[in-house]
Chain A
Amino acid sequence: MSTSALTMTEESPPPILLTRVLRLLGYLTDPKTLPGKAFTRWEQSMTGTMEKLATNDRYLRFAGRGLQMGFRVRKDMIDATEEMLHSFRIPALSEVIALRNQVRVLHDQLEATTCQLEVALDLLERIDARGEMLEAAVAGAPAADAANEAAGKGGKKAKKSAAKAEEK
């Protein structure tokens, strides 16, 4: 048995039953096939109907009223349930969820605080470095003045000797 045959088998294992079923479903609804063409026609007609419904004034008014009623019923039910739980001193689901979220927020906050501290330390380091540079500049200033003065005197002497040489 050659190695390549083995590799091929490893690379493309035979499709499992589930894959075959999905492939068949895909084939049956493929617009290129006969059943797929029928399916596409049905899909297009359904899409057209839904589009009309989604912009129909009567439907939208009806759906809006239904939603509004649903919202009111929900609000009343939640208020009643939470009140009952509180009367038994039992935490309601909303409180447990809030607690869980709070823990996550604390974790993130800790991560961010670490990062902010790093930024602050960077800034402090930069300020320190700038301070040291300034100190060095201040300390170096008298020495530089002295050097300048010495250079000035030396310059005058050099000029005098050059003039003498020219005269000679």
Chain B
Amino acid sequence: MSVFSKVKDTAGGAARSVMESAVGNFEIGQAWAAAARERSVGPYPYLAPVVRRAAQVPEPPLNSTPHQVVYTKGKMRLLRFEPAVRKHKTPILFVYSLINRYYILDFLPGRSLIEFMRDQGFDCYAIDWGIPGEVENHMGWSDMLGGLIQSAVKWTLRTSGASDLTLYGYCMGGTMALAYASLYPEGLRNFVAQATPVDFHEGGIFHTWTRPEYFNVDAMVDAYGSAPIDLMEAGFSMMAPVQRITKWLNVFRQIDDPKFVTTFLAMEKWASDNVPFPGGVYRQYIKDCYQENNFCNGRMVVGGRRVDLGNIACPLLNLIADKDTIAPPASSLVLNELVGSEDKTVMNFPVGHIGLSTSSKGPKMIWPKVAEWMADRSEPMAEA
């Protein structure tokens, strides 16, 4: 190699790295400008592009299990995750909370609850509530249960060709699914409640913050029409305000571990992808559940009918995260005493609220047990 070509290579390499650096910095600047335009207050939109650039990792492949939209009603979409080989005729319908987005259940490849259940031969369906707007703000619990969830159940049964299904509720979605199951028990074969708050006076810090003397839910819904993203995010941040920032320092220490960085960014992306909570539903949720604890005492009224958890007679699996601060174990455990089912199971796992769906323990320790429980109680697929 001649001296001239060596110099040319070095100069070319330097120019390339300067160029790459300029492009990278430009991209970070663009991302920051977009975050500032959207008046984002969380750290994710500002720090994620920096970490991605430093760790040289792409956008995390969230929500990548193939699916199709089989039904919509307003903003709600019913998604189908069809298995390659279906082993169980009984489908699973996942009902997620109205806070954040459903795709925490379809997190990353290899760490997705929906992908796991699909691979176990279950025909999986999930309700994506979408991003609520003006129309949804005027909806109440009766519209959610008798309108949206009931339609989702109907279309799940129709599309899957089954006569009954397993209803799988998560977090506040579990609370709504329980209310649905008590009012419309037809077509339900099994019920799985994952990290579902039931006794809201055991609801930890959220119960304290939403007490009527501190929080006027009517004033908020009247002003915004919904529970706005910023306020919801501020509420979650107040649970651990210092760690919200300092956890990023831990990523800086592990910047050379692309797997760790990708998982962290995926989690933060989901956590920052908040959606406004429809006002009418939020008003009744705060009053009936957190402030008056009517839900578990059989006093909550939806569409003129009383929500009585004793009406639930199908087999029940209650999944509890021992380190849950959003739905503390004491808040969920009471469910088994309230339902009318004879076949009731409680499973505890040493994870946090989100860990039940995203922890590395999921595919190894948690989900196989859940899948086994459901398989034992599902109708097997008839041989062709």
> Which chain A residues have a beta carbon within 8 Å of chain B's beta carbons?
13, 16-19, 21-23, 25-27, 29-30, 43, 46-47, 50, 54-55, 60-61, 63-64, 67-68, 70-72, 74-75, 78, 94, 97-98, 101, 105, 108-109, 111-112, 115-116, 119
Contact = CB atoms under 8 A, between A and B. Distances in A.
Contact of A112 (B72, B219, B249): B72
A22 B255 contact: yes
Query: Interface residues of B: mostly helix, strand, loop or mixed?
Result: helix
Given A54-B238, A108-B77, A116 B252 contact: no
Interface in B215-241: 215-216, 219-220, 222-224, 238-241
A71 B227 CA distance: 11
Interface string B104-137: 0000000000000000000000000011011000
Contact of A47 (B70, B240, B255): B240
A26 B253 contact: yes
Given A50-B242, A64-B216, A111 B255 contact: no
25 contacts: A16-B24, A19-B55, A22-B51, A23-B253, A23-B256, A26-B249, A30-B253, A43-B243, A43-B246, A50-B238, A50-B242, A54-B238, A55-B208, A68-B216, A68-B219, A71-B224, A72-B223, A74-B223, A74-B224, A75-B222, A78-B223, A105-B72, A105-B74, A112-B70, A115-B69
Nearest to B241: A50
The 5 nearest A-B residue pairs measured at CB:
A26-B252, A26-B253, A71-B223, A64-B214, A75-B223
Given A30-B253, A64-B213, A112-B72, 13 more contacts: A16-B24, A22-B50, A22-B255, A26-B251, A47-B240, A54-B205, A60-B211, A60-B214, A70-B223, A74-B223, A98-B134, A108-B69, A112-B71
